Amino acid sequence: MLNKINISFGLKAVPVEPVKKDENSRRGNWGNQIEFVLTSVGYAVGLGNVWRFPYLCYRNGGGAFMFPYFIMLVFCGIPLFFLELSFGQFTSLGCLGVWKVSPMFKGVGYGMMVVSTYIGIYYNVVICIAFYYFFMSMTNLLPWTYCNNPWNTPDCTGVMGTPRTNATFANVSAVVSGLTEIVNRTKRTSPSEEYWRNYVLNVSDGIGNFGEVRLPILGCLAVSWIVVFLCLIRGVKSSGKVVYFTATFPYVVLTILFIRGITLEGAISGIKYYLTPQWEKILDAKVWGDAASQIFYSLGCAWGGLITMASYNKFHNNCFRDSIIISVTNCGTSVYAGFVIFSILGFMANHLGVDVSEVADHGPGLAFVAYPEALTLLPISPLWSLLFFFMLILLGLGTQFCLLETLVTAVVDEIGTDWIMKNKTYVTLGVAIVGFLLGVPLTTQAGIYWLLLMDNYAASFSLVVVSCIMCICIMYVYGHKNYFKDVEMMLGFPPPLFFRICWRYVSPFIITFILIFTVIQYKPITYNDYVYPRWSLVIGFAMALSSVICIPIYALFKIAMSEGSTFLERLKNSVKPDPDWGPALQEHRKGRYATAGPESVEVCPLKEELKDEGKEKLKEKEMEKKDEMGLTIPGSNGSTLNPTPSA
């Protein structure tokens, strides 16, 4: 009787316990769902939310820009975000492994890896510069406040005059003359701009003249990579704990800066400039193109990071809810950051007596020139500078964590051995070292030229192409009906009708629009007055194509290696889902996945024990269980139900 109780209890534990745990102990899961949401928020909310969105908003009609921005969010941003999260979560695999859905398209995964590599290299250089400014803010007087430094030129005109208290009438005249020059905007360079160009970067005369390595920047780059590695040393188990701080504290800093900003004189004029709609621009195609591009790039679609982060979710996690929360939070942060930035820039414009458009900038120019200059006008300026650059560091690290984890996860999943799973830390260390070494050229005197080249080409239209092909593969090659059933099996409900329409028609159309618009509106990159030479633009295009070219190359390779006597047969075989395609854990492989692939990705000890006893003995135990439950068993099978003397 005791044996029967044990057998009955054991059989109950097989289906019940794994479902209760829903854990992939071999690969790992997030500690809880909050960690995933915070990590994804940190990934999506980055430096672009602070320096690109406000600039696009005032350049494209102020408040009028919000209309196309939110239209693109609803019809393209959130649907693509949900698609990538569900894609990674369904199979618990990174940006390479998920293409078991249609092996011929695995080149899309390699393209995502190439894009993430480029972005990870130059993104950490931006973070390291933020580290440098953070360290330099630990002083009583910010070094970019005045024009009396060795790196300043005669064209420098500071808004603070000179640091001397016994200024003569000539000095006062010089200050007045300088302010007049500021208003006229002729040949005026600010102390913060000269500090950025002549001291921090010591920019060379061209992209081909590397000059020397800027040792302080190189040191900060090492610090940045060490911080990223330590936060990822245990994969999502460690990064999931770090994001509680890195993903939330920037909002604390933004709020502090916002409260300080709106109390400054002239702040309201800056906010009005930020929000006042210029409705005549709503008909400009460029406004819609910028809105679509900002949504597309700020959410991090086609980088591979969303697929990777979702792959560590539990199978039945509601990623539909998560996609709404994260996307709305990302865009809300952009709008909120606009208030913070333009309140300060409005104060600065009021102080200088110029229009807000004369002091606003974008990209690194906003983060490391315009905003630092505005900080010098505030009381206790080093404190506000520390807070601002600390916020930039945290925003950058949140994105960098996911970029590095994307590459590491792709390598580990592709090799897939137990050794590589247990020694994932060494893979993380290796990727971090390679990333640091590849970033060293960006710390030279020509580094800023190469950084902007990578930003404009390596992660531009290639992202659009990758995302478009991903939609085509899932919706039209694998089949929209199959994918809708997969999502329903995972979430318990099918994708809403709106998302099904967007995935099949609306989002691909918008992506195609972005691609065409990017090509039509293409202009060669420039940096201030510097025009990039043609050979450097060729390198830029080569970087852009290096991620896209992975797709046709791997497709041809897969077709050639597939079974079949004709090209058409090989093509059909190469697009068929791999036998391993489907949920990672055996308890989730139901319906058409019940007999597909290996018996289980994760096998619990009890299941191993039952397997060793053999199939016949397992049938005997199942029949004994039915007998105990009072089920009627045909007499012809009675002889097989005699219990064995020992279990």
Contact, 221 vs 439, CB < 8 A? yes
In the chain, the amino acid numbered 434 is V
* Tokens at 416, concatenated: 């897939």
Residue 184 assigned to a binding site: no
CB contact set of 458 (below 8 Å; sequence gap of 6+): 115, 118, 119, 122, 540, 543, 544, 547
- Environment class of residue 623 by beta-carbon count within 10 Å: exposed (0-12), middle (13-18) or buried (19+)? middle
Residues 405/232, Cβ–Cβ less than 8 Å: yes
State the DSSP H helix or E strand holding residue 527, giving kind and residue range, or none if neither. strand 526-527
Locus of tokens 């290696």? 561
Q: Tell me the C-alpha to C-alpha distance, in Å, between residue 200 and each of 153, 370, 438.
A: 15, 15, 20
Check the annotation: does 528 bind a ligand: no
Does 198 carry a binding-site annotation?
Answer: no
Contact predicate 459/304, CB 8 Å: no
Is 350 one of the annotated binding-site residues? no
Cα 269 from Cα 285, distance rounded (Å): 28
Contact (CB, 8 A) for 385 and 142: yes
Q: What is the CA radius of gyration of the chain?
A: 29
Using CA atoms, how far residue 48 sits from 52, 78, 266, 403, in Å, is 5, 18, 25, 15
Assigned token pair, 503: 């995935």
Distance CA 100, CA 601 (A): 15
Task: Find tokens 């690290």 and name the residue.
Answer: 397
Question: Binding site annotation covers 49?
Answer: yes
User: What type of residue is 315?
Assistant: F
CA 617 to mean position of chain CA atoms: 51
DSSP 496: P
Residue 536 counted as an annotated binding residue: no
Was 370 annotated as part of a binding site? no
Residue ranges at the known binding site for Na(+): 42, 44-45, 49, 298, 330, 395
Residue ranges at the known binding site: 42, 44-45, 49, 298, 330, 395
